[in-house]
Amino acid sequence: MRIRDIKVGKIDLPLKRTYKRAQRIIETPEEIVVKVITDEGEIGIGSAATTSQITGDTEDSILGALKLIKPKIIGIETDDTEGIFKAIDKTLVNNSAAKAAIDMAIYDLFGKKYGIPLYKFFGGYRNEIETDITINFGTVEEMVTSSLDAIMKGYTHLKVKVGTDSQVAIDRLNVLKKSVRKGVTLRVDADQGWRPKEAVRTIRKMEDMGLDIDFIEQPVKAWDYDGLKYVTDHVETEILADESVQGAPDALKIIQTRGADLINIKLMKCGGFHNAIKIINMAEIVGIKCMMGCMLESKIGITAAASLAVARRNMIKADLDTMLMFKEDSIVGGVNIDKNIIKVSNEPGLGIHEVKGWNEIIL
Ligand SMILES: C[C@H](N)C(=O)N[C@H](CCC(=O)O)C(=O)O
Ligand SMILES: [Mg+2]
């Protein structure tokens, strides 16, 4: 079975509520959906999220990258995944979202060809995982209301976006801790907002106040590896690297220096399954655990991410909550979401049947 064609299209994902984090405010995320078509008429599906502030990928850059990649992989045998990824990496650096979309579609085809759900192919450790839910940064009232709403819907882990002012972060978390019932865990995403010493001071204060934070995600700038390690070494709370780990080489840096306690893997950051697997394997060797995260992505990306997250023992946490954020679900098939539990299907590949509202773009 060889690659015969690649079609791309765009879907809009209108949000129920505006998404707010330190670097961006967004109403309607856009996604590029890729269909890799074989000479036997089989179709593999993948998606690329536009997240310019994190990966640098925009709609135009994703389309530009796909235009370059397409002629390089047409005609290659779909089983030759090494050959496909080598051809892509020889063609262009970075552009991880476009690469992730093709990678997802290739693995989807692989699963379909051999009749195996991807989660089983990747390790089959379990078939479901609990996700947290992200609480947007906002006023105290907004954050308390969203948190109580999430808890009512069955979520027990809240990942709180705290903005860039560390004192505001402490105040917000203090109020949230008092507002939620026992048994609800707070996670914090600082979105690169603090300087290293400020981060240590802030996190120690949270520890002294007994806020019992599960982890602090990306307290310092993405490029500040020494700063991240400094924070990790000087607080009790676990530190999760997010933007500092885009691809496998970044992960290696963190793993070799023990620069963080945990790594947040996102297919959009690392360019898909084949690189995510490298990160999981490297991290596992030294005992660094991983979380599977996501961008503002449709059920295609969430299904892909969940397929790897459930498959591997070293993936102990998940932040795969975007499905709840969209006004409607334009993807038929894929994972099943019951409150905070994401369950993968037993269908071959990703198990995606249809992408509604797919507007084809001619490359
Ligand atoms: C949506 C997910 N829960 C999340 O919080 N992801 C962000 C990155 C996505 C974005 O801001 O577009 C994160 O983990 O920092
Ligand atoms: Mg983050």
Tell me the pLDDT tens digit for each residue of 245-265. 999 999 999 999 999 999 999
Q: Is 192 left (phi over 0), alpha (psi -120 to 50) or beta?
A: left
Q: How does pLDDT run across 284-342, given as a tens digit for each residue?
A: 999 999 999 999 999 999 999 999 999 999 999 999 999 888 998 899 999 999 999 99
The pLDDT of residue 236 is 98
Q: How far is the CA of 90 from the centre of ligand 1 (A)?
A: 29
Let me know whether 166 and 282 are in one domain. yes
Could you list the active site residues?
161, 266
Give me the helices (H) in 134-193, please.
140-152, 166-179
Q: Is 298 in the pocket of ligand 1 (CB under 6 A)?
A: no
Total domains in the chain come to 2
Structure tokens at 203: 């996190």
User: How many alpha carbons fall within 13 Å on the CB side of residue 73?
Assistant: 34
**Quick check: helix, strand or coil at residue 37?**
strand
Which domain CATH number covers 337? 3.20.20.120
Flag residues of the chain having pLDDT under 70: 21-23
Q: Is 297 in the pocket of ligand 1 (CB under 6 A)?
A: no
Has this prediction a pTM greater than 0.80?
Answer: yes
End-to-end Cα distance, the chain: 23
Backbone angles phi, psi at 117, to 5 degrees: -65, 145
The pLDDT of residue 22 is 66
Q: Is 293 in the pocket of ligand 1 (CB under 6 A)?
A: yes
Structure tokens at 309: 């997250």
Let me know whether 49 and 178 are in one domain. no
The pLDDT of residue 328 is 87
- What is the per-residue DSSP string for 238-278? EEEESTT-SSHHHHHHHHHHT--SEEEE-HHHHTSHHHHHH
Q: Could you tell me if 266 and 301 are in contact, meaning their C-beta atoms sit under 8 angstroms apart? A: no
Q: How far is the CA of 19 from the centre of ligand 1 (A)?
A: 9
Let me know whether 59 and 7 are in one domain. yes
Let me know whether 44 and 161 are in one domain. no
Q: How far is the CA of 35 from the centre of ligand 1 (A)?
A: 25
In the chain, what percentage of residues exceed pLDDT 90? 91
Which residue segment(s) compose the domain that 331 sits in? 120-354
CA torsion, ordered 335, 340, 341, 345, to nearest 10 deg: -10
* 331-333/352-355 β-pairing: antiparallel
Let me know whether 51 and 10 are in one domain. yes
Let me know whether 111 and 133 are in one domain. no
Q: Mean of the per-residue pLDDT values for the chain?
A: 96
Q: Tell me the CA distances in angstroms from 337 to 11, 266, 304, 321, one per residue in order.
A: 21, 19, 14, 10
Q: Looking at ligand 1, which atom is closest to the CA of residue 266?
A: 14
Report residues near ion ligand 2: CB below 5 Å. Answer: 189, 217, 242
Q: Could you tell me if 162 and 134 are in contact, meaning their C-beta atoms sit under 8 angstroms apart? A: no
Which domain CATH number covers 64? 3.30.390.10
Let me know whether 244 and 283 are in one domain. yes
Nearest CA to ligand 1 atom 12: 295
In the chain, what percentage of residues exceed pLDDT 70? 99
User: How many alpha carbons fall within 13 Å on the CB side of residue 350?
Assistant: 31
Kindly indicate whether the ipTM for this predicted assembly is greater than 0.95, answering yes or no: yes
Q: Is 95 in the pocket of ligand 1 (CB under 6 A)?
A: no
Q: Looking at ligand 1, which atom is closest to the CA of residue 29?
A: 12
